[in-house]
Structure 1
């Protein structure tokens, strides 16, 4: 049994969706569910874990974002083969990133993620769109209740990368996050903590409401299939994030 399930919120009670995530992740890690296998249907998972359909769908969405599952409309969800990680960026030293390092990371993302959003607008599937919506719903809920929003934030951006249909967008985004997050042991890849762009920055908490609005603007453009609008909305979101970080440091 793994002691480091993916997406776990350490030191906090395990949520209902986390129990489903942990259960399926353990089966994948142990080989009970192999690449190409179809995971149990929603009704089966609902009965097995004693949870609602929305909880099961949230768990599947999180496993999709973690690169463990893919969902095919009208067919089901299937286990993905482990991908070979690209060499990670050199981890930055120190417990916390310095301001200039955080700004540099945002600058790098500004050159990558607007195009990610544009491609996602053209290529996303209905299932991927629904998963993005759930990620933003989770972000809104966690912000409202005062919980950390980093996991839902990362999940949204990762789902955008997956929706491009180009696996290297996801590889680069994961490599980027590996340079900003202290990692636990990676000996068991399928059960390690999910990579994120960064933990919540206390100085940015007052801007969470604006961040949420910017996220939804990106998603709205993707929903409409408007690549140009999605590109512009993502650029504005990241550029505004950079300015908020600069202003908060003054």
Structure 2
């Protein structure tokens, strides 16, 4: 009797998880040290026998975990874990909606000012990096994939555009789990309604980018506050109504 193959979505999720684990192990044991460039997509596909989609999803998850970063037109590089004794918000500290809302409040306090400083100090290179993150976000959504990795990358690039390395250090410490969807919605499939929501999120990102591009510090501050406050309010509503 022929055994039925598992559903493609579940199988793909398992392959992605396996690849994340394998690459994560290499980062943790030093085979892929901080600053090291990850192998090309084609090489990872061949080595692990997986599709390009699986490789990209795995890299997106590693980005969300703050373990790697993708540099537009160059490649993906290992960030590592930093100092284990330093301040860090671990996944175990983001188990509830209240935990996620608490981090959003921290982000509102920090990132609104970061956006204003980025508008004042950004370089053309910073703008290119921000644009690349926005385009990666939009591309993922239109391909019916979530965009946690590019979402985190966009906020990290804003921190870098402040020209104050402490902002980027803090964002890297928080890692991709600071994106609410990374913790609470990781198993929610992409539906038409969800895709529309993600398009709206990227529209808010575009408003932040536009203010930074124009070097309008007040507009950048306001756009970031609106963006993060909207996310916080959506999570608050989820505590009293079922999440769609």
Name the one with the larger helix percent: 2
Q: Deviations over 1:11-53 (max 9, x none)?
A: 55269x999988977765565555556667x7xx657858xxx
Whether the 8 Å CA contact 2:126–2:157 is kept in 1: the answer is no
Kindly indicate whether residue 226 of structure 2 is the aligned counterpart of residue 244 of structure 1.
no
Pick aligned residue for 2:154 from 147, 153, 156: 156
Structure 1 segments, 4+ long, off by >6 Å, are: 17-27, 55-65, 73-78, 90-94
Whether the 8 Å CA contact 1:128–1:159 is kept in 2: the answer is yes
Q: What is residue 232 of structure 1 aligned with on the other side?
A: 222
Structure 1 residues 228 and 81, CA gap change in structure 2 (3 angstroms): same
Q: What is residue 190 of structure 1 aligned with on the other side?
A: none
What number of residue pairs does the alignment pair up? Answer: 215
Shift of 1:228: 3.0
Kindly indicate whether residue 93 of structure 2 is the aligned counterpart of residue 128 of structure 1.
no
Pairing of 1:1-250 with structure 2 (within 5 A): 11=10, 13=12, 31=30, 34=33, 66=66, 68=68, 71=71, 83-85=82-84, 86-89=86-89, 95-98=95-98, 101-121=99-119, 122-123=122-123, 125-138=126-139, 140-141=141-142, 145=144, 147-173=145-171, 175-176=173-174, 195-198=177-180, 199-200=183-184, 205=194, 207-247=197-237, 249=240
With the length of structure 2 as denominator, give the TM-score of the two structures. 0.57
Whether the 8 Å CA contact 2:112–2:221 is kept in 1: the answer is yes
Whether the 8 Å CA contact 2:44–2:55 is kept in 1: the answer is no
C-alpha distance in 1, partners of 2:207/2:156?
A: 17
Whether the 8 Å CA contact 1:150–1:196 is kept in 2: the answer is no
C-alpha distance in 2, partners of 1:120/1:167?
A: 12
Gaps in structure 1 of 5+ consecutive residues: 1-9, 178-193
Tell me, what secondary structure is at the counterpart of 2:96? coil
Structure 1 residues 238 and 31, CA gap change in structure 2 (3 angstroms): closer
C-alpha distance in 2, partners of 1:215/1:62?
A: 20
Q: Deviations over 1:133-191 (max 9, x none)?
A: 2342245326xx3x4444443333233334434343244345556xxxxxxxxxxxxxx
